[in-house]
Structure 1
Amino acid sequence: MDDENNNSTLGGGPINAQSLALRIQKKVASKMSNKNMAKIFIDETSGRLLDNLYKLVKDYSGSKKLAESILNDIIKVIVKIGILVKNEQLSSDELKLCNDFRQTFHLFAKSALSFYEIEYTFDQKHLHNLLVSCQASMHSIIKFHLTDKSKNRVDNVFNFFSDITFLEDIFKNHKYSTQMQVIVDDARKLVDDGLL
């Protein structure tokens, strides 16, 4: 076999440059996706919101490791989905699921803001159900594109934030009121700007 033929196969099959490039992008994104890298690509308000979610998770759980894991998982999943969208890897049905996810997550954000801002309206079950719906949509979007490790990242994030006890504590326990107010202020700005 000559060199040209040797260069055209990888593992016995033809090289698909687009597929290879996509795999490399996802691998690089996975290695580079952390809080500091995210700040390069996101606006100041979103960065501050992520920082304060990290602090809330750390204070609530008492675990810096868990807070770092949750934050890294959020960033990695967002970056990988961004790569899929940018490279037009999602089918029309999956793009519709992305839109459904955005609408449900927007409803979650608006509901959470309303529950925080208006006394005696809090409904943790409603927030829980919206997050569970978001989680299911996310799994449908990534099912054929991302690894089991990425799917576990989705579960790690949504299982933590949709936990009824967590929701109850952060909305009703005054211990978290200062952190929640900062998160609510940034989330309100992102919702008003159409970014969340």
Structure 2
Amino acid sequence: MDSGAWCARDISMRAQKKFLSRVGGSASARALVLDDHAAKLLDQFLCVLRSRVEKREAEKMVKHVIKAAVKLGVLRRHSQLSPADDRALAAFRTKFHTVLMAVVSFSEVDFSYDREFLQDALRESHQSLKSVVERHLSDKSVSRLAGVFALVSRADLLDSLFADKIDEDVLKLTRMLRKELDRGLL
């Protein structure tokens, strides 16, 4: 009986991940799995990306972020993450928090932009997350996340965001990030 329950649980989890991978990009699916704050941040991030990369590529990157977050949420909900995975995710959160704080400071403090620092912080964040994702998600999901981090680490993209005068879309995104960081939600 235990092995049957285990199989049913495993099948249920795989079905949820598969379902979410199919609908992860639609607005209705985002509403089911993202809170309002996260959805607004991702929408603003998409707006910033669309003005700097091809529209389809920008949308695909945001969709990949959503899918990965949802899949990791499903794994956590079903207690599939080991203590080592939880530590790696905590390390990711800490490192990504550093990335977000740097992004906010680059927009708030003139002449503070440091591309190498941001690229290193993004690389470290990716490595922490990758260690968990590789054990639990498909190679395709791992590749998608690598693509997201490769895009946001591109020198030309980062320079367009912070090297010169910062445009209104980027300022709006960083103000949103600052608010969420101040509230302790990121």
The TM-score with structure 1 as length reference comes to: 0.87
Structure 1 CA distance for aligned equivalents of residues 182 and 34 of structure 2 = 17
2:39 alignment partner in structure 1: 47
1:96 alignment partner in structure 2: 87
CA distances 1:69-109 after superposition (whole Å, capped 9, x unpaired): 11110100000011111111111101000000000001111
Letter in 1 for 2:150: N
The TM-score with structure 2 as length reference comes to: 0.92
Structure 2 CA distance for aligned equivalents of residues 83 and 159 of structure 1 = 25
Letter in 2 for 1:135: H
Conserved in 2, the CA contact under 8 Å of 1:35 and 1:71? no
Q: Does 2:73 align with 1:82?
A: yes
Conserved in 2, the CA contact under 8 Å of 1:74 and 1:154? yes
Shift in Å, 1:168: 1.2
Identity %, equivalent residues: 28
Aligned residue-pair number: 183
Q: Which runs of 5+ in 1 are unaligned?
A: 1-7
The 5 A counterparts of 1:1-196 are: 16-36=7-27, 37-61=29-53, 63-174=54-165, 177-196=167-186
Q: Which runs of 5+ in 2 are unaligned?
A: none
Structure 1 CA distance for aligned equivalents of residues 34 and 21 of structure 2 = 17
The root-mean-square deviation of aligned C-alpha atoms, in Å, is: 1.8
Secondary structure at 2:135 match in 1: coil
